[in-house]
Structure 1
Amino acid sequence: MDKDTALIHILNSKGVSTLLGGKLPVSVITDNEYIPPLTSEALVTDRNVDHSLSSLDHCISSSLGGEVKTVILVGPEGSGKTTALQKLVVDWAKGEHLQNFSYVFYFRLREMNFLEGMLSLETFIQHHQSHVPPQAVPLLLQKPEDALFLFDDLDQYRHSLDPSVHSVCSDPSQAASVPCLIASLLHGSLLKGAAFVVATRPAARLDFLSGISVEVLGLLKPQREAYFNRFFTDQSDANKALMHMERTLGFYDFCISPRFCWTVCSIYKSLMDAGRKLPETLSQLYVDIMVYLIQSLSLSKDCNRDLVLALGRMASHCCFDQHRSCTKEEMESFGFQQFLSSVGVFLQIDGDIEQNTCLFSFHSQLMLEFILALCFFLDKSSSEGVEKVMEKHKCHTNFFDLFLSSLSEPIQRRPLETLLGELNSDQIMNFRCWFKSSSEAALKGYYKDMHYRCFHLLYQAQNESLVKDIITSSAQMGISYDDLSLLNCVTLNYVITCLGEMKQLNLYRTRNFTEEKAQVLGPTMSLSHKIILSDSSLNPGAVPHLALALSRGITKELDLSHTNLGDEKFSILCVALRDSKLLKLNVLACSLTSCEDLVPVLTSATSQLGVLNMMFNPIGDVGFMKLCKALHSPHCKLQELWLRSCQLTAASMEAFSSALCCGQSELRKVDLTGNTISDNGVETLSKSLKHPLCRLQSLILYDNELTGACCPHLKEALMSEHCSLSELDLSLNDLNQEGALLLCQGLSRPGCPIERLRLTRCELTLSVFKELGSVLRSGTSQLKSLMVGINEVGDKGVKISMGCCLTPKLVEMTHLTDACVEDVCAAIRASKTLKSLEMRNNSLTDASVPPLVKVMKDSAIMQEMNLQYNNFSEDVFDTLEGCHKIRY
């Protein structure tokens, strides 16, 4: 096969470059403007393929260099498949690639839709590859492994190529239909051993093809930069155009399409040459494109209108009847009789326009949907309701409503009205009413996808007053926006910047919070009073943008729990926290091992941080002691410190005690749950509790491996007139009877400030309960809440405790039976303050239900009783259901 002849043949390909159709592949190749599209490595399914090669050209060459016989390129419209295939022919003909093949044939299947008759493979090749000399075909048939067939536009071929619907042939001289020949080739029964590259859009059925599938991505950001630099001769123009596109359009998937990049560059250049403003949204871009195309025809306003309405009828036909292309007869039925010679600026034309076999199609789905939207407002004869139209388009379009949103704004539709006449004002008003009512309804709900859609519609409208009108105080703006796409970041940011502030920005479970997303959301984060990023994955590049937003913004509360932040990223954040307005910081379970970077934050004269949650971070004693140094600073505003399960021991309690007594610390609440503080640590802390400068009011020592040996020291602290503790939690510690009785002595001191005491699962005995009862009956105790659940004292303990009319809760006492119910009811009737009672996980039976239901219904004070996990049968469920105050 003569390579020079093949090269000339492919470089003489016919066609017309158009704004929407892109530059001809042959022109791209000969003008040295070809940029290889990228592929998705994840979809390269053959294990023998080098996955490090992401260029489409390399991917194909690498695949075909081995045992692979069929490569299937799958990519959206305009992603560069056709240009890549033609470039393969050129490179082969020049001796640069694929030299293991002696024959390379390129076929566009959409050009064969109307090819009829019976042909042999020999005739088929010679008919469609006229540059192939007749003597080459017999040689090909003798050695088919030397041949490579490139089949383009599989999705646009109207006939099935599934071999199961054909009587596949194996004889090259046997006459068969063209679909049968192609199906036999791809099946491998005809010309066995030949290689194939098939290009198609994702919609095509490919289950009959065996081979490796490669997803064609197109041009990512670096490739787009190279594309713009080649398109514009002036470097400053290239930079301006690229920066503008990335800012306004770069978050759309179709920006990876080389054809779309051609369209954007072309329209940008015309606008820049005319000194006009570049479009701010996708809708504005298509308004500019439409204006450019209409003006290029130089028709009258009436003709412009008739042409666009005909395009609208064609778009409707293609959209709802699922037709990719239309025949000449169909085009005439749409009203194109006088415009067939002009439609080339809008449509792709396959075949001779004078022939009935000629086919017409839209270059892109986007243009089809824009024309649908434009004609909805342009057609004054239509009276179809907006809601009905929206429902009809829902499954067939993605941007129809977005284009409507833009065109409903006077300033955005004005350039088109200059060329087409005024749009239908009644339909525009109907759409705006629908938009407002549907958006308000969506924003009151909890479906984030509907929120996103509303934001996208508002973004396309570009009307700040419309945003403020639709997003009222009833909108659920605190809804979780997990797994944010870049597009959703852009639209959300637009809405919030229009509103001026946001109560709560909920980014819970944002799995891939990238630098790009954080940069886009920077203004929104600055305007948010509370930011929730819990259970999210923050890329390192995202942290500086979050930090900048905190230092410049109004954020008072930040939740980064379970983000696996780590010390390095936390260090970057801490620099910004010094100058932020942050009052609360939650870094629970963030893999932090050091507190060193927090010290400058807490000691900064401008820091307002008052609540710090560092639970489940292994900071250890060394980290905590560094934190304690900050408590000595007069600038430290910390009032609450949560240190649950931070690997602390008694070794760091001396430093903590010193900080509490220094006279500067404003700490009011400390949670040390789950640390090995031990009795020695409590002894040290008890000394500070007696100090006149200690202001601590709440101390949580839950599960600290304490015994009764710590109780004498706590008793001394409670007996001190300087003690300010109002809350003490000693739950899940084996205090035993002797230790607990010592605590009771401290509680009995007149003036003891304890109001809330928790002794859950502390191995308390009836003697302790009796002593607690005495304390409560003394009349001098400040206790308002006593939790003594899961201590095995049974019904007698209930009688003692309930007799004290305790408020507000008696929680989960175990081993309770029906025998305690009389005492419980008596206590409820006698109490003037008891509001809530929990009796979960006990052995109450159906016999207890009637008196408990009655006393709850009769009590005006009691609000809730929890009876879950008792021994009730279904027979009493209706009775329990009759009292809304009871949970069961």
Structure 2
Amino acid sequence: SVGTRFEDVFRAIVYNPNLKFLSLNCVPHSLKMFSLLGEVLENPVCRIQHLSLMKCDLKASECQEIASLLIKSKNLKKLTLSNNPLKNEGVKILCNALLHPDCTLESLVLLFCCLTKTGCISIGRVLMLSKTLKHLDLGVNLLENLGVMSWWLSGCFFTSDVCQSIALVLTNNSNLRSLELGSNDIGDKGVEMLCDALKHPKCKLENIGLEECMLTSGCCASLASVLIRSKTLKKLNLLGNDLRDEGILQLLEALGHPDCVLEAVGLQINSVAAETWKSLLTVKKKNTRLTLLYQSWAAKKGREVSYNVGDIRAVSLPPTVPVLPRLNWHLICFHMPRKFRHKKSAKVSKQPPPSSST
């Protein structure tokens, strides 16, 4: 229950215009708590932009209260509800609120919320009609393929079949800026569909994450074409894929093209041949704004799940290799728990890349 002391803290928040992030993770919920939250967020003095309610055991029955918060708050831009059993019924209520003209939310995190493909209809409708929503995280939910239109997802049991629907949205919704499909078995066939959409003039995507998507060198020619033709794509994550030297060389050629505007790329380069490594250094010298990412990165705050999400380790590079600055991506790739994977990515050699000859 919410006691007097807790209530006093809430009321004090209203008069702190510098507070931007409010975390109530693991706090027991009640109607009184939501009432106080509504009072805080509705107050014109309140400047809270990110509200986190992770692991609060929220269910569909509480979603009406949460929906009311989304409509009342004029400053709330991000809501994190990860690790709550909202299920499809709860998300449907939230989706209705997201389409309310008074809702200004830009980012919604529903990681591990017990969603299935049945909830895709409501979510797809929001993605097509919402005027403000720019980021939707539905990772680690059993959505499979049916009913999918478009969202930023990792570890959702997708295959290449889903990419046709995603490609359709990419070419029809110019508001989409980031797409995360890591740890899904979409393969080369799925990426080919996405590449056609990424080259469409109406597609304004800036970031795409394809880590551990069972990709091979067979899709690299299409990806290279995207790198040259897209005028908006800034970040591309291809870590954890068996592209081989043949595929990486195709990508490097595109990265060195004068029309390429990419700023960050994640490539598995710890076992490339000397010729490939030399080409990589040449491209980096030619394209000074390009950041090369050699290792995976941890999940952002709000994407935690209640079990170990995998072994994330850096690739050790020899002293002769220039270590480039790491870049915080708009969307961080999430490693799907191994117990949920139905296929394992190809193992990557731990041997460092050969030094280029001077």
Q: Same fold (TM over 0.5)?
A: yes
Q: Distance in 1 between matches of 2:26 and 2:65?
A: 18
The residue number in structure 1 matching 2:307 is: none
Which of 23, 29, 50 is the aligned partner of 1:530?
50
The residue number in structure 1 matching 2:340 is: none
Q: Within the alignment, does 1:586 sit opposite 2:113 as a pair?
A: no
Q: Distance in 1 between matches of 2:315 and 2:91?
A: 46
The residue number in structure 2 matching 1:786 is: 292
Whether contact under 8 Å (1:740, 1:768) holds in the other structure is yes
Whether contact under 8 Å (2:38, 2:72) holds in the other structure is no
Where do residues 206-217 of structure 1 align in structure 2 (5 Å cutoff)?
Answer: none
Secondary structure class of the residue paired with 1:596:
helix
Where do residues 280-295 of structure 1 align in structure 2 (5 Å cutoff)?
Answer: none
- The alpha-carbon distance between structure 1 residues 490 and 787, as it changes in their structure 2 partners (threshold 3 A), is closer
Unaligned runs of 5+ in 1: 1-483, 629-640, 824-888
Q: Within the alignment, does 1:509 sit opposite 2:14 as a pair?
A: no
Give the counterpart letter for 2:82 in structure 1.
Answer: S
Whether contact under 8 Å (1:700, 1:728) holds in the other structure is yes
Unaligned runs of 5+ in 2: 296-312, 328-348
Give the counterpart letter for 1:560 in structure 2.
Answer: L
The residue number in structure 2 matching 1:548 is: 68
Give the counterpart letter for 2:21 in structure 1.
Answer: Q
* 1:374-410 Cα deviation digits (max 9, x unpaired): xxxxxxxxxxxxxxxxxxxxxxxxxxxxxxxxxxxxx
Whether contact under 8 Å (2:186, 2:213) holds in the other structure is yes
Where do residues 721-740 of structure 1 align in structure 2 (5 Å cutoff)?
Answer: 722-740=230-248
* 1:443-469 Cα deviation digits (max 9, x unpaired): xxxxxxxxxxxxxxxxxxxxxxxxxxx
Q: Quick check: which has more Rg, 1 or 2?
A: 1
Q: Distance in 2 between matches of 1:658 and 1:519?
A: 41
Q: Within the alignment, does 1:705 sit opposite 2:222 as a pair?
A: no
Give the counterpart letter for 2:136 in structure 1.
Answer: L
Whether contact under 8 Å (1:518, 1:542) holds in the other structure is no
Whether contact under 8 Å (2:208, 2:237) holds in the other structure is yes
The residue number in structure 2 matching 1:644 is: 154
Give the counterpart letter for 1:620 in structure 2.
Answer: E
Q: Distance in 2 between matches of 1:604 and 1:657?
A: 17
Whether contact under 8 Å (1:614, 1:644) holds in the other structure is yes
Which of 95, 108, 123 is the aligned partner of 1:598?
123
The residue number in structure 2 matching 1:495 is: 12
Q: Within the alignment, does 1:687 sit opposite 2:191 as a pair?
A: no
Secondary structure class of the residue paired with 1:595:
helix
Where do residues 75-154 of structure 1 align in structure 2 (5 Å cutoff)?
Answer: none
Residue 574 of structure 1: CA displacement?
Answer: 2.2
Residue 497 of structure 1: CA displacement?
Answer: 5.1
Query: Which is bigger in relative contact order (C-alpha 8 A, separation at least 6)?
Result: 2
Cα RMSD between the aligned structures?
3.2
- The alpha-carbon distance between structure 1 residues 676 and 549, as it changes in their structure 2 partners (threshold 3 A), is same
- The alpha-carbon distance between structure 1 residues 595 and 674, as it changes in their structure 2 partners (threshold 3 A), is same
TM-score, scaled to structure 2: 0.75
Residue 532 of structure 1: CA displacement?
Answer: 1.1
Whether contact under 8 Å (2:170, 2:203) holds in the other structure is yes
- The alpha-carbon distance between structure 1 residues 518 and 542, as it changes in their structure 2 partners (threshold 3 A), is farther
Which of 620, 634, 642 is the aligned partner of 2:144?
620
Where do residues 235-254 of structure 1 align in structure 2 (5 Å cutoff)?
Answer: none
Residue 782 of structure 1: CA displacement?
Answer: 5.3
- The alpha-carbon distance between structure 1 residues 499 and 708, as it changes in their structure 2 partners (threshold 3 A), is closer
Secondary structure class of the residue paired with 1:644:
coil
Whether contact under 8 Å (1:711, 1:743) holds in the other structure is yes
Of all paired residues, the percent bearing the same amino acid is 28
The residue number in structure 1 matching 2:304 is: none
Whether contact under 8 Å (1:765, 1:791) holds in the other structure is no
The residue number in structure 1 matching 2:87 is: 566
Which of 135, 139, 156 is the aligned partner of 1:611?
135
By percentage of residues, which structure has more helix? 1
Whether contact under 8 Å (1:519, 1:542) holds in the other structure is no
Q: Distance in 2 between matches of 1:732 and 1:513?
A: 40
Give the counterpart letter for 2:223 in structure 1.
Answer: L
Whether contact under 8 Å (1:735, 1:762) holds in the other structure is no
The residue number in structure 2 matching 1:672 is: 181
Whether contact under 8 Å (1:525, 1:553) holds in the other structure is yes
Give the counterpart letter for 1:654 in structure 2.
Answer: Q
Where do residues 257-336 of structure 1 align in structure 2 (5 Å cutoff)?
Answer: none
Q: Distance in 1 between matches of 2:314 and 2:106?
A: 38
- The alpha-carbon distance between structure 1 residues 520 and 745, as it changes in their structure 2 partners (threshold 3 A), is closer
Whether contact under 8 Å (2:61, 2:90) holds in the other structure is no
Residue 707 of structure 1: CA displacement?
Answer: 1.1
Secondary structure class of the residue paired with 2:292:
strand
Give the counterpart letter for 1:682 in structure 2.
Answer: V
* 1:549-590 Cα deviation digits (max 9, x unpaired): 221222222111112221112222222222212122111111
- The alpha-carbon distance between structure 1 residues 679 and 762, as it changes in their structure 2 partners (threshold 3 A), is farther
Secondary structure class of the residue paired with 2:121:
coil
Residue 618 of structure 1: CA displacement?
Answer: 1.9
Residue 716 of structure 1: CA displacement?
Answer: 2.6
Residue 678 of structure 1: CA displacement?
Answer: 0.2
Residue 495 of structure 1: CA displacement?
Answer: 3.3
Q: Distance in 1 between matches of 2:114 and 2:325?
A: 38
Whether contact under 8 Å (1:596, 1:623) holds in the other structure is yes
Whether contact under 8 Å (2:55, 2:84) holds in the other structure is yes
- The alpha-carbon distance between structure 1 residues 486 and 566, as it changes in their structure 2 partners (threshold 3 A), is farther
Residue 694 of structure 1: CA displacement?
Answer: 2.2
The residue number in structure 2 matching 1:767 is: 275
Give the counterpart letter for 1:535 in structure 2.
Answer: K
Residue 602 of structure 1: CA displacement?
Answer: 3.6
- The alpha-carbon distance between structure 1 residues 660 and 573, as it changes in their structure 2 partners (threshold 3 A), is closer
Q: Distance in 2 between matches of 1:740 and 1:500?
A: 49
* 1:276-322 Cα deviation digits (max 9, x unpaired): xxxxxxxxxxxxxxxxxxxxxxxxxxxxxxxxxxxxxxxxxxxxxxx
Q: Distance in 1 between matches of 2:177 and 2:288?
A: 18
Question: Bigger CA drift: 648-657 or 786-795?
Answer: 786-795
Give the counterpart letter for 1:724 in structure 2.
Answer: T
Whether contact under 8 Å (2:271, 2:351) holds in the other structure is no
Give the counterpart letter for 1:672 in structure 2.
Answer: L
Give the counterpart letter for 2:235 in structure 1.
Answer: E
* 1:236-264 Cα deviation digits (max 9, x unpaired): xxxxxxxxxxxxxxxxxxxxxxxxxxxxx
Secondary structure class of the residue paired with 1:543:
helix
- The alpha-carbon distance between structure 1 residues 559 and 715, as it changes in their structure 2 partners (threshold 3 A), is same
- The alpha-carbon distance between structure 1 residues 520 and 759, as it changes in their structure 2 partners (threshold 3 A), is same
Secondary structure class of the residue paired with 1:621:
coil
Q: Distance in 1 between matches of 2:148 and 2:186?
A: 13
Q: Within the alignment, does 1:519 sit opposite 2:39 as a pair?
A: no
Q: Distance in 2 between matches of 1:599 and 1:816?
A: 43
* 1:62-100 Cα deviation digits (max 9, x unpaired): xxxxxxxxxxxxxxxxxxxxxxxxxxxxxxxxxxxxxxx
Q: Distance in 1 between matches of 2:326 and 2:78?
A: 31
Give the counterpart letter for 2:62 in structure 1.
Answer: A
Secondary structure class of the residue paired with 1:757:
strand
Give the counterpart letter for 1:617 in structure 2.
Answer: N
* 1:8-33 Cα deviation digits (max 9, x unpaired): xxxxxxxxxxxxxxxxxxxxxxxxxx
Q: Distance in 1 between matches of 2:133 and 2:316?
A: 44
- The alpha-carbon distance between structure 1 residues 603 and 591, as it changes in their structure 2 partners (threshold 3 A), is same
Secondary structure class of the residue paired with 1:615:
coil
Residue 653 of structure 1: CA displacement?
Answer: 1.0
Where do residues 39-78 of structure 1 align in structure 2 (5 Å cutoff)?
Answer: none
Whether contact under 8 Å (2:294, 2:315) holds in the other structure is no
Residue 665 of structure 1: CA displacement?
Answer: 2.1
Residue 683 of structure 1: CA displacement?
Answer: 1.2
Give the counterpart letter for 2:232 in structure 1.
Answer: S
